[in-house]
Amino acid sequence: MRRTIGLLALAALAIASPASAKSRKPAPPAVLAQGQSPQPAVAPGGLPYQLFIPRGYNDNPAERWPLIIFLHGSGERGTDIARVKVHGPPKIADQNPALPFVIISPQLPPSANEDDPWPIPPLDALLDHALKTLKVDPKRVYLTGLSLGGIATWEWGAARPERFAALAPVAGSADEKTACALKDKPVWAFHGDRDDAVDNASDFAMLRAIQKCGGHPRMSLFPDRGHDSWEPAYADPGLYLWLLEQRLPPKH
C-alpha cells in the first residue's frame, strides 16, 4: 500500500517537476513516443540504451525534465536491450508511466570485462547526446546503478562530479581515494547488511572518507537483505522524491 500511494504521489509531481526555459528559443523539439523504447548507440563503439519518455513530455516545448541515468549489473549484459528493464528505474517506469523523469539505461555488451565494465568515455558521449537532443535539465541529471552499475556510479560520479546533481549507488563499492571529489555532492547509498557479493564495508568506508572531506552523504542499510538491495531501494518513492530535490548549484 505504501508503495502504491507513494508512486501515485510521484505521478502527481509530473506536472511540477519540469523546469521552464523561458529565456531560450530553440527549434521545436522532436515529439517523442511516451514510454520505453530501445535506442542504438550514439557513436561507433558506444552503448545501446533504453529511453523512457514520461507522460506529459511533449506537452510544453519549453519544459526541461530531470534525467536519471541508470547503470545495470552484470546479469543484464548482452544483446537483448530489454534486459535492462528487469531492475531499477526502468522497471519502476514500466509500472508507472507518469514517473516524472526521462530515464536513460545503457547496456554493456556480453564481452564487457567485469574488472572494468563501464568505460567512462562512451557514457560521457551518451550524456552529451542526451543533453543536446532531449528536453532535459542539465542541472538535474541523476546517476544511479546497481552492483557493477553501483561501482560505476561511484567511479563516474567521482570522475565527473560537475555533471551530476546527485548520486545513488546501490550494492556497489568505491575507491576511498576519490572521496573528496564528492564532498559537495548529494549522495545516497544503499546496501544489504548480508551482501556476500559486494561487501557493504566499502560503502561505509567511502562515506566516512567523504565525511572527512566535509561532505554529508547518507546510507540506507537494509536488514536481512543480501546482494539484491536494489529491490527495496528502487521501490522506495522516497528515493525519487529526494532526487527531485537535488540540482547543481549555479556556476560562479
Q: Which domains are delineated in the chain?
A: 2-9+47-244 (3.40.50.1820)
DSSP code, position 224: T
- Among 27-41, 84-98, 108-122, the range with the most confident prediction by mean pLDDT is 84-98
**pLDDT tens profile 176-232:** 999 999 999 999 999 999 988 888 889 999 999 999 999 999 999 999 998 989 999
Neighbours of 58 (CB within 10 A): 16
Q: What is residue 15's predicted lDDT score, i.e. its pLDDT?
A: 42
> Is 80 exceeded by the pLDDT of residue 19?
no
Helix or strand (DSSP H, E) at 235 = helix 230-235
Residue found under cell 521552464: 20
Average pLDDT of span 130-140: 97
**pLDDT tens profile 29-77:** 678 888 999 999 998 889 999 999 999 999 999 999 999 999 998 888 8
Which pLDDT band holds residue 252 (cuts at 50, 70, 90)?
A: low
Mean pLDDT of the chain: 89
> Is 50 exceeded by the pLDDT of residue 1?
no
Cell of 67: 534525467
Q: What is residue 22's predicted lDDT score, i.e. its pLDDT?
A: 46
Which pLDDT band holds residue 23 (cuts at 50, 70, 90)?
A: very low
Maximal CA-CA distance, the chain: 52
For 2, phi then psi, to 5°, come to -60, -40
Q: What is residue 85's predicted lDDT score, i.e. its pLDDT?
A: 94
The percentage of residues in the chain with a pLDDT greater than 90, rounded to a whole number, is 72
Strands of 147-229 (E only): list them: 166-170, 188-192, 218-222
Which pLDDT band holds residue 153 (cuts at 50, 70, 90)?
A: very high
